[in-house]
Amino acid sequence: MAVEGVRWTLANSRPVAHLSGEIDLTNAEALFSAVKSNGDGVIVDLTDVVFLDSVGIGQIVALAKRSSVRLVSPPGTQPRRVVRLTEIDGAIPTFDSIAAALAGG
């Protein structure tokens, strides 16, 4: 089932969940349910996300506890600031681009 705000691609045979828009209390659970359903080794791309709140951060952390996740969050974006402030980039591999996430191991 397609979920608004999630677009899927493959990069070097790895699933990439491209999230977009705002991720907050109103949609975070549905977005990350869709991401969780795609299994292990997913790259979560926040490049097109304009707002990420604590509920979204909680969903990212919960996903990372269940499976291998690489997070893409470009510098200078609101999601990257939130990722840095919450220090989840110390626990979840976080990259500037999909290419960097693929090269990251």
**31-58 residue pLDDT tens:** 999 998 877 889 999 999 999 999 999 9
Strand order in the sheet with 14-23: 6-11, 14-23, 42-52, 69-72, 94-95
Report the share of the chain in percent with pLDDT over 70. Answer: 96
Q: Structural domains in the chain?
A: 6-103 (3.30.750.24)
Helices (H), 1-105: 28-36, 54-66, 78-86, 98-103
**What is the torsional sign of CA 82, 86, 87, 89?**
negative
State both tokens at 55. 């509920």
Which pTM was predicted?
0.93
Q: Is the pLDDT of residue 103 over 60?
A: yes
Give the lowest-confidence range in 20-24, 35-39, 41-45, 89-93: 35-39
Q: Binning pLDDT at 50, 70 and 90, where does residue 102 land?
A: very high
The neighbour count for residue 19, using CB atoms within 10 Å, is 27
